[in-house]
Structures are given as structure tokens and as C-alpha cells.
Amino acid sequence: MKQWVEFQNLNRISYRAAWDYQTILQKELIANKLAHRLSDGKYPLDYPQKHYLLFCEHPPVYTLGKSGSMAHLLLDEAALTAQSIDFFKINRGGDITFHGLGQIVGYPIFDLDLFFTDVHKYVRLLEEAVILTLKMYGLNGIRIKNFTGVWLEPKVENEPFRKICAIGVHISRWVTLHGFAFNIHTDLQYFKNIVPCGIDDADKSVTSLSAELGYTVSMATVQAQLKQHFADLFQFEFL
């Protein structure tokens, strides 16, 4: 059964407001699916459900996942305040990351019972949507074993692998929350205040699409490309 997804561009929104909004939508999806649960505790294969794909940008914020370490935040509270950077401990997987302007932050709120119940496959498809988008700009996005997200290989010997998209998710009753952060023309200086994703390997760093291409890319264009790849990979239609 073909699924339908409502796309919403939240534009520039505070991290707290977006987190609260995601949570409301996730609870609505969970309540709806529970209302259709059968007497044997299972779900029919065709119960009606509206999924969401949210895109936005956040003012500067560091978020720390439930498995992360505070030691990976290199600023104290006073420094965060002085630089007008928010900080949240949140319920996604993963360690610390940065969200800021010039970054596409994507929050799929999907009921995976109507797609597939496989967390590994879900994360791989998030990565694949970004990899396919990068390919449109002549860039070869890759995965690195044991490191979630999308990377670019070193251009020359002894240069680092460069992370261009971070991923961290939370799933409750197979309804997804949180998602990915794709650096388009993000100010990479903010990443110097953290150990990004808890990875302090000398052969790994962070990059953005514009840094790789040498020119500023239209956020709207990349969003449109990314949306289409999501629809193709998850085989849904937009409302």
C-alpha cells in the first residue's frame, strides 16, 4: 500500500520548538496506530496514517545524544551564553553534534510499521538520500564502517575523511523522531567547539557542500533534490 507523506518546511526555527513539534506529531501517529490495533495486538497492513517529512534550519545549537559524553562539549555554560549558542541533552542516539544556519536539518516522522521494521535499513536509507543528492554535484558520498552518517573520501593522501551529514534517530513503537543534519553552507567554525559525534580521530573532519564545491549552493535546490530522493527510496507520495 502506497504511503502518503506531508512535507513541511519549517524554515528557521529554534531547536526546542522543533523538538516539541516533532514530539507532538510522533504522539499523534502513535495514538492513531494504537487506535487501529487488532484484538490480537497486531496491526492491519492498511490502516490509514499520515507521515511527515520536516526540513528546517536552527539557530546555533549543540545537541548531545543519550549515549554521548559531556566531555565532548569544549565550551562551558558562560562561553555558550556569550556566543549565543543553545545546548540540549536529547533522546536520540549518537553523541554531540552542531546545528546551525546553512544546514538542512531533516526530521522524518514515519510510522515504520507501514514501511518496514528495520532500524538498520532506515538509517541506511537516510544516508542514501544524501549520497544520491551529493552525486548530483559530482561528489561521491560514502559510508564508513562503525561511523553513522555520510562522508567524503580524502582528496589526496594524508588528508582526512570529511563528514558532511550526521544522523541520529529515536524510534518509539516504530514511529521515528529526530533525523539528519546535512551541511550545505554551514559555518564549520562551530564544530571546533565540540568533538563532533564523539569522533576525535586525526583522519576525520567535517565539511559542507559549499566548501567542497567552492561556491554557495541554493538551499531550496538541495531541499527539492533531497525530497525527491526520499520519496523514491521510501516509495511514498507527497500529499
56 counts as catalytic: no
Paired strand residues for 152: 141, 162
CA angle 2, 9, 176 (to 5 degrees): 50
d(CA 123, CA 217): 25
Specify whether the CB–CB gap between 177 and 23 falls below 8 A: yes
Please provide the size of the chain in residues: 239
Residue 65 Ramachandran class (φ > 0 left, ψ -120 to 50 alpha, else beta): beta
- Catalytic residue (one of 114, 130, 197, 226): 197
Contacts of residue 108, defined as CB under 8 A and 6 or more positions apart, other chains included, come to 51, 52, 53, 54, 126, 176, 179, 230
Distance (Å, rounded) from C-alpha 206 to C-alpha 99? 13
Q: Can you list the positions of beta strands (E) in the chain?
A: 3-12, 51-57, 61-64, 86-89, 96-99, 103-109, 141-144, 147-152, 161-172, 175-183, 204-206, 236-238
Phi and psi for 108 in degrees, rounded to 5?
-75, 125
Q: Which residues pair with 3 in a beta bridge?
A: 236
State the cell numbers at 169.
Answer: 534517530
Active site (catalytic) residues: 197
